[in-house]
Amino acid sequence: MTRALDLANLPDADVVALALEGRDSAHRELIRRYERPVFSLVFRMVRDRELAEDLTQDTFVKVLSHLDRYRADFKFSSWLFKIANNVAIDHLRRRQLDTVSMDGSPHAMTAEAVESTRFDVADSAENALDEMEAKELGSAIERAIAQLRPEYRSCIMLRHVEGRSYEEIASTLDLPLGTVKTYIHRARHELRRALEHTRE
Amino acid sequence: MNHRHLLPNEIDLLVDGEAGFGVAPLRAHIQECTECRERLEDARIVVEALEALPHFAPDSRLADRVMAQVPVFVPAHVAARDSVRRWLPQSAAARVAALAVAGSAALTLTIGMVWLALQGDLMVFATGVLGERVRVAVVSAGRDLAVALLGDAALSALQGLGAMGAVLLLVAFLIAAVGTVAGIRRLAVASRRA
């Protein structure tokens, strides 16, 4: 009991140090702290509870099995989210379930380039999932998030659900700061449009 | 009043609550421009909806499932430190008492050793007698063990090999033992990884 209370009050870096000493309870404390944020991020990325459970498990197994590679100058949670995001994105790429953005390439610099890369269709498998996920996720904002492209989704989740700064998101996702700002701006724009459509 | 409406990234600055020299004119514009104020309000509604999103809970057995796949190794130095800690008394008073007892014992032993060292002749004699008795006891025990393990005939054959033969036999045994231990260890590591 005393040990559990001590662990709960320790900063992440100290819990990681204890986990590196082979403390089972420290490993479990790291899982306890981050299972909900990681699962939520992954669930909103893949929109399938069972799959999200498996990917969250994979994330924690990867992280805890390679704790010796963790660099203390990096926030533990950022490292964890980076791996969770990579696991989810890798899965989406493998399954080719990505939604195609309606707003064109995020790298498009001109109106013509945006127009030339604009799409208004989604993967057919995604449509089949929509009804299922709507029951689970419920609200209009969740459905709107589900329509975002994965890169936008992870950025917007880290920014507004996890409360990360732009700089942290750039570091976590290995993206330039400007790209993160662009993704978040476009994600908000798409969400705003989707919600306007819902309200009408 | 400014005639230019706010750019999307300027709306983002306000939504993110940025503070700075360039933000004040944007805020001033918002006060005067109904259209930009509505756009800002729309953007804030989205952000508030996002920030109100809950965390989902995974299955309660997630930690057990993860830990079943994570090999947890206790480094040797940590295991040694833990062992020492287990033997140490918990309270400060008990630790002081244990230290005092250990110090007294060490002091007594040291004095005893110094006294013995000063008794030169007695020490040489006693060491000789003790050494001879130990040698006889070890040789006898070794012979008994060899007879028990190998039997009389094998022991006679071993004696026939001489000292060099016995050494070679011992070396072969050690190589076989080390090889066996290494093989078992490798199998254990492979099965844990699998």
What is the separation of C-alpha B15 from the centre of its chain, rounded to a whole number of angstroms?
48
Q: How many CB atoms lie within 10 A of CB B44?
A: 13
pLDDT in tens, A67-124: 988 888 889 999 999 999 999 999 998 876 444 444 444 444 555 544 444 434 344 4
- For residues B55-77, give the mean pLDDT: 90
**Closest by alpha carbon to B99, among B108, B88, B110?**
B88
Burial call B93-115: b when 16+ CB within 10 Å, e when fewer: eeeeeeeeeeeeeeeeeeeeeee
Residue B193: CA count within 13 A, CB half-sphere? 6
**Closest by alpha carbon to B47, among A151, A122, A42, A141?**
A141
Is the pTM above the cut of 0.80?
no
Out of 1.20.1440.230, 3.10.20.30, 3.40.50.300, 1.10.10.10, the CATH code matching A98-200 is 1.10.10.10
Interface test with A, best of B66, B69, B77, B193 (most A CBs within 10 A): B66
What is the separation of C-alpha B167 from the centre of its chain, rounded to a whole number of angstroms?
39
Domain range summary for chain A, segments of one domain joined by +: 1-95, 98-200
Residue A52 and residue B58: Cβ atoms within 8 Å?
yes
Q: State the DSSP string of B17-81.
A: T--STTHHHHHHHHHH-HHHHHHHHHHHHHHHHHHTPPPPP--TTHHHHHHTTS-----HHHHHH
Q: Interface of chain B against chain A, CB under 8 Å?
A: 8-9, 12, 15, 42-43, 45-47, 49-51, 53-59, 62-63, 65-67, 69-75, 78
List the structure tokens of A69: 């590679």
User: What fold, for A1-95?
Assistant: Rna Polymerase Sigma Factor; Chain: A (1.10.1740)
- Which range among A74-78, B139-143, B154-158, B190-194 shows the weakest confidence by mean pLDDT? B190-194
Residue B70 and residue A43: Cβ atoms within 8 Å?
no
Are A1-95 and A98-200 equal in CATH topology? no
Residue A141 and residue B58: Cβ atoms within 8 Å?
no
**Closest by alpha carbon to B29, among B51, B50, B2?**
B2
pLDDT in tens, A21-41: 888 999 999 999 999 999 999
Angle at B164 between CA B158 and CA B165, to 5 degrees: 35
ipTM of the predicted assembly exceeds 0.85: no
Residue B8 and residue A40: Cβ atoms within 8 Å?
no
List the structure tokens of A98: 């990505």
Q: Based on C-alpha coordinates, what's the Rg of chain B?
A: 40
CA–CA distance, B57 with B30 (Å, rounded to integer): 40
